Amino acid sequence: MTYNFDTIIPRKNTDSLKYDCAKKRGKPEGLLPMWVADMDIQTPPEVREALAARAAHGIFGYSEPDENYFEALENWFATRHNWQVDPYTSVQTPGVVFALCTLIRCLTRSGDAVLIQEPVYYCFQESIRANGRRIVVNELLFDGSRYAIDFADFERKIVENGVKLFILCSPHNPVGRVWKREELEKLSDICIRHNVFVIADEIHEDFVYPDNTHTVFASLSHEVAEHCAVCTAPSKTFNLAGLHVANIFIANAEIRRVFKKELDAQGFSQANIMGLDACRAAYRYGGEWVDQLVEYLSGNISLMRETFRTRMPQLKLIEPEGTYLPWVDFSKLSLSVPELERFVVDRAKLWLDGGHIFGAGGAGFQRFNIAVPRATLRQALDQLEAAVRQIS
């Protein structure tokens, strides 16, 4: 079966954060939204059927994941990511950010240092701050086209700040790196040497472009698995963010116990029944759909690359190895952060994520969400080109 990702599904007036909340978020009406990370693409038919069956039943009582759920998880990670994991070491939460916050509280005390690699997904900073912990930054190295890890700085920051917790973004949002096994091994060696626990946020793991392979952090070795929590969710892959389900794998039994205790303390026990239905159906039946989607998104990235090359050479696409959130360098336009924001909104009529919100190294960049039908992306690029022409 060949899926059609070109169909435009109208999202205006559907209670969508991306489309319907401009005013609340301080943006003018009428912008083309290419910001927050959900897709303008419908979830696979099998997921819609599972949800329709539940809706038809009309009873939405408390639920628990069943054997088929765990079997679907196990198969997904074994077949798609070459990771043989005991699915019963997973804990279900209402989201990955919810799990990050819970883990931060379990594993550190007030005022402790938590290490992150900026520019990075802004909820990392928010989660650390909101829980009264201190952010320590190991800034990624940028050579003008690709990002790399400064390992010496990584280790120095751990030692100098007595870091006991590191949040890894893998694949990395927003710089689009799919970390190589060797890079992950170096990170894990340093972390084990200094007894640093790793939260591996792998929510973008299914969006990996040709010639790249996602390596699950816990798959590096048994020892590494004992030192990390792997945060996964079907929400990015299958466009299910509003159904609030994530699967957090914690091999270390003691840390898993403490994590569950903290969930209890927050009053959370059962996951959303629709989220569980959707996750089970997605991981059971969604493989071929994801393969075709990734190919389609790769086509969108090619369109963006070619459009910048031929029509807007002032802008530079940082070639994404993974994620549907390409990171674009606007620095040749020589605009300050507020000027760039005004340029995007007032001239290009786009709603993007400004690079500065991702922390150190983010100013002068914008993050695009290209998980949209190609016609929508074309429209965004046309608007951007017209804006660039106005100021060049």
Ligand X SMILES: Cc1ncc(COP(=O)(O)O)c(C=O)c1O
Residues forming the site for ligand X (CB under 6 A): 37, 95-98, 121, 169, 173, 201, 203, 233, 235, 241, 246
Nearer to ligand X, 119 or 155 (CB): 119
Nearer to ligand X, 308 or 365 (CB): 365
Nearer to ligand X, 73 or 246 (CB): 246
Nearer to ligand X, 63 or 272 (CB): 272
Nearer to ligand X, 201 or 206 (CB): 201
Least Cβ distance, residue 332 to ligand X (angstroms): 27
Q: What is the C-alpha to C-alpha distance for residues 270 and 60, in angstroms, rounded to an integer?
A: 12
Least Cβ distance, residue 205 to ligand X (angstroms): 10
Least Cβ distance, residue 14 to ligand X (angstroms): 18
Least Cβ distance, residue 246 to ligand X (angstroms): 5
Nearer to ligand X, 97 or 255 (CB): 97
- Comparing every residue's Cβ against ligand X, the nearest one is 95
Least Cβ distance, residue 236 to ligand X (angstroms): 6
Least Cβ distance, residue 135 to ligand X (angstroms): 16
Residue with tokens 């759909």, as numbered in its chain: 289
Least Cβ distance, residue 343 to ligand X (angstroms): 24
Determine if residue 82 is left, alpha or beta; phi over 0 gives left, psi from -120 to 50 gives alpha, anything else beta: left
Nearer to ligand X, 18 or 343 (CB): 18
Nearer to ligand X, 137 or 333 (CB): 137
C-beta separation of 122 from 357 below 8 A: yes
